Amino acid sequence: MLLAELVGRTLVGGFSGTSLSQTMRRALERGERAGVVLFRRNLTESFAEIATLAHDVHSSSREVPFVCVDQEGGLVARLGPPALILPPARRLAEKGGIDLITRVGHVQGRELRALGFNVNFAPVLDVDSCSTNPIIGQRAYSDVAEKVAELAIAYALALQASGVLACGKHFPGHGDTHTDSHLVLPHVTASRDILEARELVPFRHAAAAGLRSLMTAHVVYEALDPDRPATISRRICEELLRNAIGFKGLLFSDDLEMKAITLPIADAAVASIHAGCDVLLICSNEEAQDEAHAALVREGERSLAFRSRLEDAARRSTRARETWAHYERPKDLAAEFNTQEARLICEALA
């Protein structure tokens, strides 16, 4: 395989507009992207148009692509009605137990598949352990680690049973931060014992339960690696997650354009792959995606060890896409929404 295509299996990008950009289309056709992530800026109110956009991504891709979305509920939701409208995870947990949350996962998975999405960047596995946290809060199912694990994993397994890859976030936990990693680099000063008893609990359960993908946090955990945020820390991604916890699935980075990552995008991409990430998210700037692609190719040419790491990441990416990403556009799109089960869930949440 050409190194450019190998690297392409490790990159998922975003773009502007409600139709597939020509630059993204060419990157998909060349095999230089593993897929796309879609935001509100890409999605109209017409579900037929959204399905057409997703279909365009699928048909333009050399290999089966990831088509990703953040559809947690509450403020973090890209799709409006007639999709199932959910409160934030904390409210969902208060309204019902595992049964309701499992039903939500099944319905949401069916809806997302109908539109052409095959990855949902949910559930949040963070424990709401800091009352002044500006970014997690109600997005967490609970402030109790075991309850987070129980409810989030129930949702994730239901989503996966409906054919959508669940992605638990943000490893090893974004709940105990006082700042937002979209804006600055947070530091967590909790001891290793506290992290083991609280933040890491849901991720250990997720790995054991068969959650197929996780996302890293752009957060420094001083007890784990005082010098690097988790996304670019081999101690955290490889030694802790892979070796100690035993996670065997796909590891996404969080968006490398977030301000918590202060390295140039090219350096951040190389550092993230070296640390153990398998697929890198660069969610808006297509030029930055090209810079990352070029840097990864250069490093793969320079270092056989790095090329081996790229091959490992690409294998996980390919395996996940071949398992989860196949897509058949439904004959009757409208019939997939506002179903009786979706209405019953809305009544339960009212």
Q: Supply the range of the domain harboring residue 172.
A: 9-349
Residue 4 covered by a domain? no
**Does 1 reside within a domain?**
no
pLDDT computed for residue 150 by the predictor: 98
Q: Is residue 2 part of a domain?
A: no
Domain for residue 186, yes or no? yes
Q: What CATH number does residue 91 fall under?
A: 3.20.20.300
Mention every residue, 6+ apart, whose C-beta is less than 8 A from residue 273. Answer: 10, 280, 296, 306, 309, 310, 313
**pLDDT, tens only, 184-193:** 999 999 999 9
* Catalytic residue list contains 58: no
d(CA 12, CA 65): 9
The series of mean pLDDT values per 10 residues for the chain, 350 residues long, is 94 97 98 98 96 96 96 96 96 92 97 96 97 94 98 97 96 95 96 98 97 97 98 98 98 97 98 98 98 98 98 97 82 94 94
Enter the pTM of the model. Answer: 0.97
Q: Is residue 124 part of a domain?
A: yes
Residue 26's pLDDT is 98
Q: What is the pLDDT of residue 1?
A: 73
Q: Is residue 129 part of a domain?
A: yes
User: Do the beta carbons of residue 65 and residue 55 sit within 8 Å?
Assistant: no
Coil vs helix vs strand at 283: coil
Candidate list 70, 126, 254, 278, residue with the active-site label = 254
In this predicted structure, what is the pLDDT of residue 240? Answer: 98
List pLDDT tens digits, range 293-310: 999 999 999 999 999 999
List the beta bridge partners of residue 169.
Answer: 124, 215
Catalytic (active site) residue 193:
no
Please tell me the distance from the alpha carbon of residue 221 to that of residue 242, in angstroms, as a whole number.
17
Per the structure, the count of domains in the chain is: 1
How far apart, in Å, are the Cα atoms of 224 and each of 191, 236, 288?
Answer: 9, 7, 29
Q: Is residue 19 part of a domain?
A: yes
Q: Is residue 16 part of a domain?
A: yes
pLDDT reported for residue 350 = 85
- Active-site entry in 55, 56, 180, 182: 182
